[in-house]
Amino acid sequence: MNYSTTYTATIVLLLTAMANIFGVEVMSEELQATVETLLVIGSSIWILIERFKKGGISAFGVRK
């Protein structure tokens, strides 16, 4: 199956936000906050890299 990694990263971000909104607790509060933060940072970086690799923008997001 050929699926967009950018969409996957965005879905991870949305699921993390939804779990936080609905108060879903999978692990201790401190560990969950750490995992959520790492997922948000990792997904955001992944989206930025993938968009840059597709072309048309500079590393800072300015259109070429």
pLDDT digits (tens, 9 = 90+) for 18-46: 887 888 777 787 887 888 888 888 888 88
The total number of residues shown for the chain amounts to: 64
- Per-residue confidence (pLDDT) for residue 60, from 0 to 100: 77
How far is Cα 25 from Cα 1, in angstroms, rounded to an integer?
A: 31
pTM here is: 0.63
Domain ranges within the chain, ordered by starting residue: 5-54
- Asked if residues 64 and 58 have their Cβ atoms less than 8 Å apart, the reply is yes
- Per-residue confidence (pLDDT) for residue 1, from 0 to 100: 57
How far is Cα 39 from Cα 20, in angstroms, rounded to an integer?
A: 13
Task: Give Cα 9 distance to the centre of its chain.
Answer: 4
